Amino acid sequence: MKNNPRKLLVTGGAGYVGSVVGAHLLAAGHQVTVLDDLSTGFREGVPDGADFVEGRVQDAAKVLDGSYDAVLHFAASSQVGESVADPAKYWHNNVGGTLELLDAMRESGVGTLVFSSTAATYGEPASIPITEDAVTAPTNPYGATKLAVDHMISGECAAHGLAAVSLRYFNVAGAYGAYGERHQPESHLIPLVLQVAQGRRDAIAVFGDDYPTPDGTCLRDYIHVADLAEAHLLALDRATAGEHLICNLGNGSGFSVREVIDTVRRVTGHPIPETARPRRAGDPAALVASAQRAHDRLGWRPTRTDLTDIVRDAWTFAQSLGEDAR
């Protein structure tokens, strides 16, 4: 990859995943421009060495020109609960914004796209592990808008020869050096449990302990953000004109809510009090990926699959924030 440097636009590159991918792209010798409005990202999340343009994804036409080789698209509204309360925001930002991005790419002659998609496109699966051929039936507007974008991209590939890869993430976790997870509000389990260890939260809520799983709590597939980033670099090289390739990214195995809490206890040395809560509507018992297609088509396999290592990296990053933690 270092022998084939590209000029790349990374939308949402000041956010969690975008910043880690941007750092990997720069390390591989690519030239990176980050486009981010900092509504959820952080200026310090823009990797050193990247050019930065403050703006929304709808501003891509002001940045893109014929000198760019590809776009990696992370900019999106991504809170499930907020999408239920304010669906219009999600259709405007995720679908409308991506439509304007695709228009800008076509007009400037940029023919390669790697898109940050999500397992939320599948909804509640009939069986696990989940393959890319599973029925897509999102249960919230966030997942619905991401699925709509995947449909838009497929049409663009067929009509205009776009080379595109959509990567459907399962539960992204961990950190990569100075780049890690900082959501406001936070809704992901590992950083929420770490907030208890930091004294920023009294206890962690466990929503349901009577699921048909080994310990009664939900199972989720956690993937280290650095493994995720490496998949994006492979996707950039494997994208093929006229094809929209969709790949799941996950470990292929699940960890329960209780396993995550116990792992945080070991890593941090904090007791992590729990409070039992009823099941949340729409929470499947298990969400585990089949990432066989990513292996077959991208040559990708996750290597940082130990939950202790994932939590340890997340904990190191959370502690580095100090008083800046939000």
Rg of the chain over all Cα atoms, to the nearest angstrom: 19
Amino acid at 106: R
C-alpha to C-alpha distance for 142 and 147, rounded to whole angstroms: 9
Say which of 122, 142, 179, 211 is annotated catalytic: 142
Q: How many CA atoms lie within 13 A of 269 on its CB side?
A: 0
Burial class of residue 243 (count of CB atoms within 10 Å of its CB; 0-12, 13-18, 19+):
middle
Distance between CA atoms of 174 and 230, rounded to whole angstroms?
Answer: 14
CB 304 within 8 A of CB 233: no
CA distance 59 to 36: 10
Does residue 90 carry a catalytic annotation? no
Query: Closest Cα partner for 108 from 74, 61, 155, 71?
Result: 61
**How many residues comprise the chain?**
326
What letter represents residue 85's amino acid? A
Residue 286 CA to residue 276 CA, distance in Å, equals 19
DSSP structural state of residue 120:
G
- Active-site residue list: 142
